[in-house]
Structure formats: C-alpha cells, structure tokens
Amino acid sequence: MFVLSLTLLFFSMLLYKSLSEKLYSDLDELLQSRAKGIIDSIDTYWETERLEAIADGVKFDIFSKANNINFIKIAQRWVEERSKDPKLVNVIVQIFDANDKLIASSKDMPVIISKKNDQLKSLNQKDGYFETVTAEFKTGRQQPLRTFTVPVVEHYNVAYIVKIISQVSSIDLALQDFRMLLFIFLPITVFVTGIIGSLLSKITLSPVDKMINVIHNINAKNMKLRIGTPDTKDEIRRLADTFNDMLSRLEHSFSTQKKFIEDLTHELKTPLSILKGEIEVVLHKGRSQEEYVLLLNSNLEEINRITKIVEDLLILARFDSCVLNLDIKQINISILIQEITEIINILAKQKNIQFILSVDENVNIAGDKDKLSRLFLNIIDNAIKYTSEYGKLTVSINKEKDFAKIVITDTGIGISEEDLPYIFDRFYRADKSRIKAGFGLGLSIAKSIAEAHGGSIEAYSKLGQGSAFIISLPLIHSI
Ligand SMILES: Nc1ncnc2c1ncn2[C@@H]1O[C@H](COP(=O)(O)OP(=O)(O)O)[C@@H](O)[C@H]1O
Ligand SMILES: [Mg+2]
C-alpha cells in the first residue's frame, strides 16, 4: 500500500503538472491569437477611416498612428463597438499609446498590483510578453489575471500597445476540481487495493495454512499423513507435491530403519538364546571335561556368529556415514581374482563345483584391495553356497567401454522374480528357513563397496537355473 501510494502520488503530481501547464499554454495561445485579431482589425479600421477621410477631402495627413489624435479616437471607437463582440466578452482589451498611456479599455479595469509593464519592456519584447498579475478590485477582492501585452511597431517605432487580460479563475477552478478528485480518488484506490490484495493473498495462501497444520501433526509415529494438494498448477501445488514426495522418502527410510532394527534384534537373539540355552543345560548338573569343551566350542561358534554380524554392520554403518576410508591403489583385477582363487577352489571343491576362470589381462582399476576382495568373495561365496553339488561357477573379467566387468555365474538354485529386487537389502534372504546360511548382509556390503568405487552390481537370475552377478567398476583411465 505504501509503494502504491507513492506511485499514485508521483503520477498524480505528474498529471497535475502537465494538465495545469496545458491549460495555461492554451490560455496563452488564445490570448495571443485574440491580440493578433484585434491588431489586424484596428489596422483595417484605421485604414478604412483614413481612406474615407481622404476621399471626403478631410486632411488625414500623417500615416503614423503614434501620438495621433485621430488614431486615439479611432481606437476608442473600435473598443466601444467591439466590446460586445462574443469573442471578446471574456477578456478585457486595453490599448495604450506609445508612451504607455491608456487610450481605451473595453471594461473597467481594477488596479493591477504587479506593475511590470513599463514601456521599456513593451519596446524590448517585440513579440509581446505574458504576465500573471494580481488585480485588486474596489471591493478589496483580489484575483489573479493573465495578461498578454504586445507593441505594434510602425516605421521602427512603437505606434500603440495592445493588452489582453483574462481571468484565470476558470483554470484555477478546473485544477481545483482535479485536485479534489485526486484527493478523494487516491486514498480510496489505495484502500480498496489494499483490501483486495489482502483478501487475494489470504485466498492464495490458505492452502499454505492448511499445509502448516498438517505438517505440525507429522511425527515419526504417523508418517503416513500427507498434505492435501490444491487443484491448481501453481507453486503451492508444486510445494505440496514436493513435500509429499519428501514425506514418502522419509517414510520409506524410516520403515527401512525400523525393519533393520527388528531384523538385527532377531539376528542377535537367535545366537544369544542358543548360547543361553546351552549354558543353562550344562550348568544344570556337573559335566565331564569333554562335555565342557564341546559346550565351549559350540558357544564360540555362536559368539563368532554374533561377532560377524557386528563386524558386517560396522562396515555398513561406516559406508552409510561415509567415514570408511578406502585405501585406494592401482589394482589389476585379473591378478586380484587369481590371488583369491585359492580360497574359491577350497570352497568349490567341498561341493564338487567346477570353477572356470576366464580373465582379460591388464584390467586396471583404482580401488581398495581388501574391500574389493571382500566384494568378490561375498558374491562367489553366495554362488557356491546356493549351488548344489556338481554345479558350475564361472568368473570372467573383461573391459567394456570405460568399465571393468566382472561376471560371476552359477548354475545354482536361482532367485525368484519376487525376491530379485530385494536381495541387496540388509538382512534380506530369499529363503528364510536357511537360518544358518548367512545373515543377508553379504550383498548389501558388496553393493556398498561397488558404489564406493564408483561402480555398480546387477543381478540376473532364473529360479532353478542359476544366477549371474555383473560387477562394473570404472577403469583406471576414466577415473
Ligand atoms: N548366487 C545366488 N543364487 C541364489 N540365491 C542367491 C545368490 N546370491 C544371493 N542369493 C539370495 O540373496 C540373498 C541375500 O544374499 P546375501 O546378502 O549374500 O545374504 P546371505 O547371508 O544369505 O548369503 C540370499 O539369502 C539368497 O537368497
Ligand atoms: Mg552371502
């Protein structure tokens, strides 16, 4: 409203100024043209009279009108005759002689206070000059007048002077009306605009109010709440959509976290209750030395299991918070795989699985050797674990564009279509009954390692036929 007031005020002032200038310049033009008409008329009048007089034999000797008694008479007569002329009703015509002495006046003139119209001035301003003066009437009333004074020059001398006087009260009245109009119109406009503006902003921002109410009620327990999206296509709609998207993501990560904690509790509970059960049974009565050894060995197995979970989780947590420092070096993947072949062979031999290795030499990447070994072993371990005896495990390494591709294929039990999208999730195991098989963290860790190296893992599988895991890691020149 403040800015609008200022703008309107500025424009009103501009408008007022140009209007008043225009009105005054119009009046000046009118005065000027009237003066010209009067001079022409007087001159014609004089000329006719002179010619008539000459024709009548009267000696109308001198041509000059200056200080000419005949001219004075003619001028007075002209003024008397013309004072009723409708063109001259609104103005006062005065004629002065060359000495600035009033010869004739169309109306009684009040005293003009501003007295600047001395002869010198009339003489100097051949084209005439305008003046705004204040007239004081006999009653004491004062009134502004606009005058135009122009000398009539004949033979390089001033013959007479014509002065036209007009009231400016009509202009002043018009301007006064205009001022009044602005005075009323300006505050009303600002006021109405202010009301409409505040109403509009209330209407447009009401969805925001609703959003605020909903957002106030959202907490970890009711992440399902969503903001109502207005039926518009504006920023508020986009804001609501974006906010809802964010809520969905948060809800998803919240429920993932929740499930993670449930799974973890479950994973830890199993070995702990086994430990507890075994110890309780053994403590029930005295046992032999061998029985204690057996128990402690069994206990150790469970403790190792717990330790493994905790270690795996620690690695994952470090990947999550990006505090895991990778010891990046140039690594030849072919050599790295050959280094872990020994372990693979031992694992494969236990189940009579045929292990085929096909490597492209000199596939170099930049990476952390320990972490990459872990990545490959996790996947190869799965391949062997989920492949029955006399199956086949193939590991191939080659370059494809800017990536090293490591493809690990098995002829195992495969993964169903429903399970495939989730196998990289933490604690996810396709077959829940195989409790001892693992914790379902191997692939999550493998994925985190691949991603930390700027790579990725994809899984392809058909239930009953086997699986293929493709690991892509950026080649060294493209890092
Ligand atoms: N080569 C494979 N063949 C069949 N199933 C697999 C294979 N690799 C992974 N899986 C499935 O994906 C799940 C998750 O794997 P992983 O994270 O390594 O957990 P786990 O501890 O069970 O090995 C496994 O439980 C298994 O169901
Ligand atoms: Mg595994």
List pLDDT tens digits, range 175-191: 999 999 999 999 999 99
β-pair partners for 393: 355, 410
Q: Tell me the mean pLDDT in the region 450-465.
A: 94
Q: Where is mean pLDDT largest: 10-24, 82-96, 228-242?
A: 10-24
- Residue 173: CA atoms inside 13 Å, Cβ hemisphere, count? 5
Higher pLDDT, 367 or 84: 367
Q: Tell me the mean pLDDT in the region 265-283.
A: 89
Q: Are residues 167 and 56 in the same domain?
A: yes
User: Considering its fold, how many domains does the chain have in total?
Assistant: 3
Evaluate if residue 410 carries a pLDDT over 90.
yes
β-pairing, 456-462 with 157-167? Answer: unpaired
204: CA distance to ligand 2 center in Å?
A: 55
Mutate-to-test residue for ligand 1 from 426, 443, 457, 471, highest number of ligand atoms within 8 A of CB: 443
Q: In the structure, which protein residues have their CB atom closer than 6 angstroms to any atom of ligand 1? A: 378, 382-383, 386, 410, 412-415, 423, 428-431, 437-443, 467
Whether 196 is covered by a domain: the verdict is no
What is the token pair recorded at 461? 């599988």
Is-contact 372 453, C-beta < 8 A?
yes
Q: Indicate which ligand has the atom closest to the C-alpha of 436.
A: 1
Is-contact 411 392, C-beta < 8 A?
yes
Distance, first Cα to last Cα, the chain: 58
Determine the structural domain holding residue 166 and report its residue range.
Answer: 2-175
pLDDT band at 418 (very low <50, low <70, confident <90, very high): very high
Q: Indicate which ligand has the atom closest to the C-alpha of 433.
A: 1
β-pairing, 466-474 with 142-154? Answer: unpaired
Q: Are residues 151 and 257 in the same domain?
A: no
Q: Are residues 271 and 140 in the same domain?
A: no
Q: What is the pLDDT of residue 368?
A: 94
β-pair partners for 396: 358, 407
Q: Are residues 316 and 337 in the same domain?
A: no
Q: Give this prediction's pTM.
A: 0.57
Q: Indicate which ligand has the atom closest to the C-alpha of 388.
A: 1
Q: Are residues 389 and 299 in the same domain?
A: no
Q: Tell me the mean pLDDT in the region 279-303.
A: 90
Whether 273 is covered by a domain: the verdict is yes
156: CA distance to ligand 2 center in Å?
A: 122
Q: Are residues 163 and 37 in the same domain?
A: yes
Is-contact 2 132, C-beta < 8 A?
no
Which of 304, 320, 336 marks a domain boundary? 320
Whether 49 is covered by a domain: the verdict is yes
426: CA distance to ligand 1 center in Å?
A: 11
33: CA distance to ligand 2 center in Å?
A: 109
Evaluate if residue 250 carries a pLDDT over 60.
yes
Report the residue count for the chain. Answer: 479
Q: Which atom of ligand 1 is nearest to the CA of 441?
A: 17
Residue of minimum CA distance from atom 9 in ligand 1: 382
Whether 368 is covered by a domain: the verdict is yes
Mutate-to-test residue for ligand 1 from 382, 385, 445, highest number of ligand atoms within 8 A of CB: 382
Residue of minimum CA distance from atom 12 in ligand 1: 423
Is-contact 161 95, C-beta < 8 A?
yes
pLDDT band at 479 (very low <50, low <70, confident <90, very high): very low
Q: Are residues 137 and 7 in the same domain?
A: yes
Q: What is the pLDDT of residue 431?
A: 74
Q: Indicate which ligand has the atom closest to the C-alpha of 439.
A: 1
Q: What is the pLDDT of residue 335?
A: 92
Evaluate if residue 41 carries a pLDDT over 50.
yes
Is-contact 26 32, C-beta < 8 A?
no
Instruction: Give per-residue burial for 158-170: e unless 16+ CB within 10 Å, then b.
Output: bbbbbbbbbbbee
Is-contact 122 151, C-beta < 8 A?
yes
Question: In this structure, which residues have their CB less than 5 angstroms from ion ligand 2?
Answer: 382, 438, 442
Whether 228 is covered by a domain: the verdict is no
Q: Are residues 312 and 396 in the same domain?
A: no
Query: Could you tell me the CATH number of the domain that includes residue 130?
Result: 3.30.450.20
Integer Cα distance of 15 and 23 in angstroms = 12
Q: Which atom of ligand 1 is nearest to the CA of 412?
A: 3
Integer Cα distance of 414 and 265 in angstroms = 28
Q: What is the pLDDT of residue 478?
A: 46
Average pLDDT across the chain, whole number: 86
Q: Tell me the mean pLDDT in the region 47-64.
A: 74
CA angle 192, 197, 203 (to 5 degrees): 130
Which of 132, 158, 175 marks a domain boundary? 175
Query: Could you tell me the CATH number of the domain that includes residue 463?
Result: 3.30.565.10
- pLDDT (tens digit per residue) in 124-163: 667 788 888 888 777 778 888 888 988 888 877 788 888 8
pLDDT band at 86 (very low <50, low <70, confident <90, very high): confident
359: CA distance to ligand 1 center in Å?
A: 25
Is-contact 370 410, C-beta < 8 A?
no
Q: What is the pLDDT of residue 469?
A: 97
Whether 243 is covered by a domain: the verdict is yes
Instruction: Give per-residue burial for 84-105: e unless 16+ CB within 10 Å, then b.
Output: eeeebeebbbbbbbbebeebbb
Residue 59 corresponds to which amino acid? K
Q: Are residues 308 and 258 in the same domain?
A: yes
Whether 215 is covered by a domain: the verdict is no
Which of 320, 339, 357 marks a domain boundary? 320
β-pair partners for 111: 136
Q: What is the pLDDT of residue 386?
A: 92
Q: Are residues 443 and 415 in the same domain?
A: yes
Least confident among 1-15, 105-119, 218-232: 105-119
- pLDDT (tens digit per residue) in 188-208: 999 999 999 999 999 888 888
Mutate-to-test residue for ligand 1 from 260, 384, 386, 417, highest number of ligand atoms within 8 A of CB: 386
Q: Are residues 168 and 152 in the same domain?
A: yes
Whether 217 is covered by a domain: the verdict is no
Residue of minimum CA distance from atom 1 in ligand 1: 383
Residues 6 or more apart in contact with residue 106 via CB below 8 angstroms: 79, 82, 83, 88, 91, 92, 93, 94
What is the token pair recorded at 349? 């031999």
Q: What is the pLDDT of residue 123?
A: 56
pLDDT band at 26 (very low <50, low <70, confident <90, very high): very high
Q: Indicate which ligand has the atom closest to the C-alpha of 428.
A: 1
Long-range contact set of residues 316-320: C-beta below 8 Å, sequence gap at least 24: 316/426, 316/441, 316/444, 316/445, 316/448, 319/445, 319/448, 319/449, 319/452, 320/448
Tell me which DSSP letter residue 413 carries.
S
Q: Which atom of ligand 1 is nearest to the CA of 383?
A: 1
Q: Are residues 245 and 306 in the same domain?
A: yes
Q: What is the pLDDT of residue 434?
A: 54
198: CA distance to ligand 1 center in Å?
A: 62
Q: Tell me the mean pLDDT in the region 412-436.
A: 83
Query: Could you tell me the CATH number of the domain that includes residue 276?
Result: 1.10.287.130
